[in-house]
């Protein structure tokens, strides 16, 4: 591919590194100026109405606590109360310049962002789009139709807040996870900063997936000031600013990541303040200087002025359209209430401070300007205010009266039940950049485990252009284990690329890409590093299908290699698959041989659920017959490695090879062992295991996981529950010692389960 990197010759000449200025509060236009520049009276009314909708919704929550919201005063609201009163200008001003196809992510205090994205999305829809969104209003047209759809938007938002089946997420996610994919809202996030890598991944999709007949899609990422001390957020800023996204020698794709990071600085993380307390900078916009020579075009904006926010977003969008993203904006705003309504806020701020901010209230000050500059008359604004209040009241009453989710559906939507059977035509196009990567079979048609996985990935990438591969060192170098060698040369850097050493961001961006239509395959060099990314795997990838009531799929594969048995010590040797078996929403696959490795990786890529795909490094070199023709191995179907009648041995990963050797030794003593390799731990093939144990009456479960808390214990429990009347002896389990993997060879041999341990345990089962 050639050397695309700058010259790294030593240069220690004395110099100073200069930082560019970050502008602050440069907006100085009046409403009248905006009208002269082309902002219509209708556009101004939309911004005002949107801010009112947010305020009315939030004040409804406030009043519900005291029974003061008259139309539903009997309703006892249970749930979070993270109000954003005071921040309306940030949501309305930003979303007023976004297109229906643009994306946003938001925060646990994200009702306002959701209402605003939905509001402006609905305002941009034609009648047919409105009818498609809200079929029950199909008989209406024009403004009557639009108003019905707008009320439905408020209704579904309130319904989700109240945990109703009619909510956007069917009551599964609640207000802290509010979303609406139909207008590009990818979801609010209850994990502080959790939406930032997702937004970054969505921007990666927008960068790659371009329809030249339509405006370029952009992503607006809302996150609070508290998030900008969070590791994965700072990783995301670095990720978005990578030179490889702008270096024309490295990519032919449109340059720059099209994302606007909006720091909604309301001055309180929870009770702590960023400035003057928990950071060492006077402005969070300074963060940008650490990641980009142009400061990510950062500026500080008056977040109490919707028009100032709108102006900043318009200019940011122009930068993105020119391929100069990302952009970071600090929106200086204020929340009038505490972190939640259980927080009285008087312990860490004063009434005098609050009053000063209320004097620049985004709604009241905007209203005054509209009247002072004679843009609107008092009765016109009164009419908008009355319409918003009555609409919210009707929607709230309807939400209270709507159905709760059925208890029997408590885990409905935990997994997507779909599979990529057919690739959309637009993604069936292959654009090879060089020689196709090949793998070599021996004279018996055998491949090693590593090449079997590689062949499966190549086949899926050729089949579906939405499949992208990224991770640390996977491009030019081919990965630490050379599994991806040759992929870059064939598929190009748009589909195969290196990443920073940012495991959380690797997995978080994969969630964002998956939620926006792509099918990323990402690599974590060692499974130990999955702990760095466990929030993105467990709280993001695993949960979004459920929290949205099945409205979004997250088809991604996280490849994790396990290095036990190689003398790499405690931080490079852990077999952690049991941890992810405990997280509902993820699938866990662990092939033990080349044939299964290829069939399972292909299935994993086509499945519409997130898959943790575990690879044993000790297995990379083993060989097996792997067909060249197309085949898949369904998840949840175990492999009976060997049939037997005296003992069932359930085992996975590298331990399967030890189990075969142990079974050979036991056979010499007349013990017939049936070996079952589940291949996928989630979903688990209970049918095969139960049938085997009913036949043999005895069972032993083996893995290389640390014994305590291992998934082996879950399998033992299931066997006892399902096969109790058929058991002739206690069910045993074997795992690694309950300690930390040592480096010394003598200690590691004692640490991991051995063939002799399996034989001894089998003999002990009487």
694, 722 contact by CB (below 8 A): no
Buried b (16+ CB within 10 A) or exposed e, 73-100: eebebeebbbbbbbbbbbbbbbbbbbbb
Tokens of 143: 């403004």
HEC profile for 306-364?
Answer: HHHHHHHHHHHHHHHHCCCCCEEEEEECCCCCCCCCCCCCCCCCCHHHHHHHHCCCHHH
Tokens of 85: 């009163």
732, 718 contact by CB (below 8 A): no
Distance (Å, whole) CA 43 – CA 3: 51
Distances (CA, A) of 124 to 57, 81, 129, 130: 22, 30, 9, 10
In sequence order, the 6+-apart residues with CB closer than 8 A to the CB of 50 are 88, 91, 92, 95, 96, 115, 116, 119, 120
Which residue among 503, 615, 674, 748 is the active-site one? 503
DSSP classification of residue 24: B
DSSP classification of residue 6: P
393, 63 contact by CB (below 8 A): no
Tokens of 635: 């998840």
229, 541 contact by CB (below 8 A): no
Distance (Å, whole) CA 660 – CA 662: 5
Length of the chain: 766
Active site residue 572: yes
SS3 611: strand
DSSP classification of residue 615: E
Distance (Å, whole) CA 765 – CA 527: 33
Nearest one of 184, 273, 188, 175 to 223, comparing CA atoms: 188
Which residue among 572, 615, 674, 748 is the active-site one? 572
Annotated catalytic sites, by residue? 503, 572
């Amino acid at each position: 591919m050639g050397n695309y990197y700058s010259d790294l010759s030593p240069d220690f000449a004395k110099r100073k590194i200069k930082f560019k200025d970050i502008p602050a509060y440069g907006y100085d236009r009046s409403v009248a100026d905006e009208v002269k520049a082309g902002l219509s009276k209708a556009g101004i009314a939309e911004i005002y109405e949107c801010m009112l909708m947010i305020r009315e919704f939030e004040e409804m929550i406030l009043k519900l606590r005291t029974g003061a919201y008259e139309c539903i005063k009997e309703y006892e609201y249970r749930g979070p109360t993270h109000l954003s009163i005071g921040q309306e200008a940030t949501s309305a001003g930003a979303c007023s310049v976004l297109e229906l196809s643009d994306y946003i992510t938001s925060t646990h205090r994200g009702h306002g962002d959701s209402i605003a994205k939905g509001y402006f999305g609905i305002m941009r829809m034609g009648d047919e789009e409105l009818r498609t969104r809200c079929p029950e209003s199909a008989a209406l047209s024009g403004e009557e139709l639009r108003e019905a759809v707008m009320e439905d938007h408020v209704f579904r938002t309130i319904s989700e807040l109240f945990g109703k089946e009619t909510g956007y997420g069917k009551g599964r996610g609640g207000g802290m996870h509010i979303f609406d994919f139909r207008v590009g809202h990818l979801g609010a996030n209850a994990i502080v900063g959790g939406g930032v890598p997702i937004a970054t991944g969505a921007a990666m999709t927008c960068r790659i997936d371009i329809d030249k007949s339509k405006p370029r899609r952009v992503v607006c990422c809302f996150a609070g000031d508290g998030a900008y001390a969070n590791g994965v957020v700072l990783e995301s800023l670095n990720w978005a600013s990578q030179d490889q996204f702008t270096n024309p020698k490295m990519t032919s794709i449109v340059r720059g990541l099209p994302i606007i990071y909006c720091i909604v600085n309301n001055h309180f993380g929870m009770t702590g303040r960023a400035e003057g307390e928990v950071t060492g900078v006077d402005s969070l916009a300074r963060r940008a200087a650490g990641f980009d020579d142009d400061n990510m075009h950062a500026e500080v904006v008056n977040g109490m002025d919707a028009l100032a926010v709108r102006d900043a977003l318009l200019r940011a969008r122009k930068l993105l359209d020119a391929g100069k993203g990302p952009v970071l904006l600090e929106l200086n705003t204020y929340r009038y209430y505490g972190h939640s309504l259980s927080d009285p806020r008087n312990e860490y701020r004063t009434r005098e401070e609050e009053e000063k901010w209320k004097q620049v209230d985004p709604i009241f000050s905007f209203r005054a300007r509209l009247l002072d500059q004679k843009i609107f008359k008092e009765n016109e604004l009164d009419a908008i205010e009355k319409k918003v209040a009555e609409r919210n009241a009707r929607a709230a009453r309807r939400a209270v009266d709507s159905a709760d989710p059925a208890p029997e559906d408590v885990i409905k939507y935990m997994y997507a039940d779909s599979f990529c059977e057919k690739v959309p035509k637009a993604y069936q196009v292959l654009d090879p950049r060089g020689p196709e990567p090949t793998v070599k079979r021996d004279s018996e048609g055998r491949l090693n485990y590593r090449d079997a996985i590689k062949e499966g990935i190549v086949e899926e990438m050729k089949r579906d252009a939405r499949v992208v591969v990224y991770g640390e060192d996977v491009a030019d170098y081919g990965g630490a284990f050379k599994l991806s060698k040759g992929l870059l040369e064939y598929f190009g850097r748009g589909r195969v690329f290196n990443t920073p050493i940012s495991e959380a961001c690797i997995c978080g961006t994969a969630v964002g890409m998956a939620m926006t239509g792509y099918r990323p395959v990402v690599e974590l060099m060692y499974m130990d590093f999955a702990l760095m990314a466990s929030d993105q795997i467990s709280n993001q990838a695993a949960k979004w299908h459920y929290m949205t009531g099945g409205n979004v799929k997250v088809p991604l594969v996280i490849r994790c290699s396990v290095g036990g048995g190689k003398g790499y010590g405690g931080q490079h040797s852990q077999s952690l698959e049991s941890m992810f078996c405990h997280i509902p929403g993820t699938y866990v696959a662990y092939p033990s041989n080349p044939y299964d490795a290829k069939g399972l990786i292909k299935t994993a890529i086509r499945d519409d659920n997130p898959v943790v795909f575990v690879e044993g490094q000790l297995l990379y070199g083993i060989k097996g017959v792997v067909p060249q023709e197309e085949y898949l191995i369904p998840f949840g179907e175990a492999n009976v490695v060997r049939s037997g009648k005296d003992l069932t041995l359930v085992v996975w990963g590298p331990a399967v090879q030890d189990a075969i050797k142990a079974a050979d030794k036991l056979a010499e003593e007349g013990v017939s062992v049936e070996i079952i390799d589940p291949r996928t731990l989630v979903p688990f093939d209970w049918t095969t295991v139960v049938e085997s144990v009913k036949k043999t009456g005895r069972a032993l479960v083996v893995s290389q996981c640390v014994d305590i808390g291992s998934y082996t214990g879950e399998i033992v429990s299931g066997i006892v529950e399902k096969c109790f009347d058929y058991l002739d002896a206690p069910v045993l389990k074997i795992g690694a010692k309950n300690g930390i993997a040592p480096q010394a060879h003598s200690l590691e041999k004692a640490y991991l389960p051995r063939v002799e341990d399996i034989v001894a345990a089998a003999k002990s089962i009487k």
